[in-house]
Chain A
């Protein structure tokens, strides 16, 4: 008789044959997100003196296929904030529901306080860090734009690793390489944002969206743009890129020697 604990409650080998432990093996489907499937590309945002401008295009790609062309990746939360989602779209939908229920529960507490962008960013970054620590990340890069508890412009990012930072201008994914240099020309530091007008900020963000469309193969010319100020959120979800310059293309012939 085997008295070792691992044999307790098991049929005896000498009578029933060796124990068939095959069912204990876990070789079913892995339920962790290991890579994003349907994805959104860059989100760009810029602070100005009274608020924040944030933009993202309306495309969700399926690999290199431009699969969904009407996906709104800017979402309003808690009256004064907009979250811009890059990365996996199904994880974005999950976060959307999560924030929706957070908003509902927040309204239940009779404190009279409402969530501001700062609270929202802190909450999201903790969710993201917790999930990556479970080796089951939410495959997103987020920009949280809005107003903080003092009604000052707030802009910060959070990603699937739980990394967070803030800056006068922010851009995720491709935008970090192409848009950020342009935005930094307009607002190199906090002093510059304190002087920046809404019009100038809008102009800079729209220009960045255009540059991104020129050079990012996973981008689209239809986009959403939101301006968050004390007066509320002005979210436009069906904007079209304007004034693209392609006239020069006619002049290009061959790669060097071809003349006609």
Chain B
């Protein structure tokens, strides 16, 4: 960052001589300090998980939710400045509602990601605003069935909506990550926040692109990844919050819901067990070293 200290980083929407917006890059720093968030796209649904650092024993367990529902079929979680995350969710809900008003059908995950990407990008355009201090992960499940339009009467044409090609599969799970710059991509697995490096390494091991991971296994992996990513700052306690969206045949019937308590606990126990296994291996190695010194 050669231009730091030369005045190009003082105001939003200013290009440095090498074409960067430093204020956006500083916003990314805020994200890098936030609790780890993870999203995993599975073959029959999507999972969202977030690590919530317990800053005080006075905080009520299970309260202060960080993953929010958008419409009925999408969820969003973010790392970084929590109030910015709330504003993001509020805007996303407005976008989803306005889409419904115009098109009489639920917004797709891709369309919501596009609109929210555009919204975040607008906050890099003016010196009168600051960029969002969050990276958000948006997950959803677009129905594969022909959903009735809101308030629809009758069954409509038997051949389905216009523009659909026979034999092609529509709908399915969607997972997007949106950065403070407004940049967004679709992902098989996404991670952001403090533990993103470790989480990304774990996600890469899963071979999500093959599309074979089931939703239930996805829940277990997401829990494990949050636990592994937290391992670097063990001194702080944390709480795991997890939500999922399945297809219409699955446990949530296409809706975004909290992972039920029993499944969450099972996933957490498995995650702890997996970590203990790793710790044992690590402890064994230095023990061998000691022997060699002797």
Contacts and interface: CB of A to CB of B under 8 A. Distances in A.
B205 interface: no
A196 interface: no
B151 A71 contact: no
Nearest to A75: B151
Nearest to A70: B154
Interface residues of A, number: 19
A8 B151 CA distance: 49
Nearest to A103: B72
Interface residues of B, number: 15
**B65, B93, B100, B153 — most chain A CB neighbours (10 Å):** B153
Nearest to B155: A70
A34 interface: no
A107 B104 CA distance: 19
A101 B93 contact: no
A108 interface: yes
A70 B151 CA distance: 13
Contacts of B93: 108
A226 B215 CA distance: 33
A100 B150 contact: yes
Contacts of B151: 92-97, 100
B69 interface: yes
A96 B245 CA distance: 24
B122 interface: no
A60 to B, nearest CB: 7
A104 B155 CA distance: 23
Contacts of B69: 107-108
Interface in B115-164: 150-155
Contact of B153 (A71, A100, A107): A71
A96 to B, nearest CB: 4
A89 interface: yes
Contacts of A92: 151, 153
Task: Please report whether the interface of chain A is mostly helix, strand, loop or mixed according to DSSP.
Answer: helix
A79 to B, nearest CB: 11
B71 interface: yes
A104 B97 contact: yes
A104 B153 contact: no
Interface in A40-97: 60, 68, 70-72, 89, 92-97
A110 interface: yes
A19 to B, nearest CB: 40
Nearest to B152: A93
Interface in B62-85: 65, 68-69, 71-72
A34 B71 CA distance: 34
Contacts of A97: 100, 104, 150-151
A153 B24 CA distance: 57
A200 B68 CA distance: 45
A89 B151 CA distance: 10
B69 to A, nearest CB: 6
A110 B62 CA distance: 11
Contact of B97 (A94, A95, A101): A101
Given A101-B97, A101-B100, A108-B93, A93 B153 contact: yes
Contact of A104 (B71, B104, B152, B154): B71
A223 B244 CA distance: 37
B67 to A, nearest CB: 10
Nearest to A110: B65
Given A68-B153, A92-B151, A93-B153, 9 more contacts: A89-B153, A95-B151, A96-B150, A96-B151, A97-B104, A97-B150, A100-B151, A101-B97, A110-B65
27 contacts: A60-B153, A68-B153, A68-B154, A70-B155, A71-B153, A71-B154, A72-B154, A89-B153, A93-B150, A93-B152, A93-B153, A94-B151, A95-B151, A96-B150, A96-B151, A97-B104, A97-B150, A97-B151, A100-B100, A100-B151, A101-B100, A104-B72, A104-B97, A107-B69, A107-B72, A108-B68, A110-B65
Interface of A: 60, 68, 70-72, 89, 92-97, 100-101, 103-104, 107-108, 110
Q: Which 4 A-B pairs have the closest CB atoms?
A: A93-B151, A96-B151, A70-B154, A71-B153
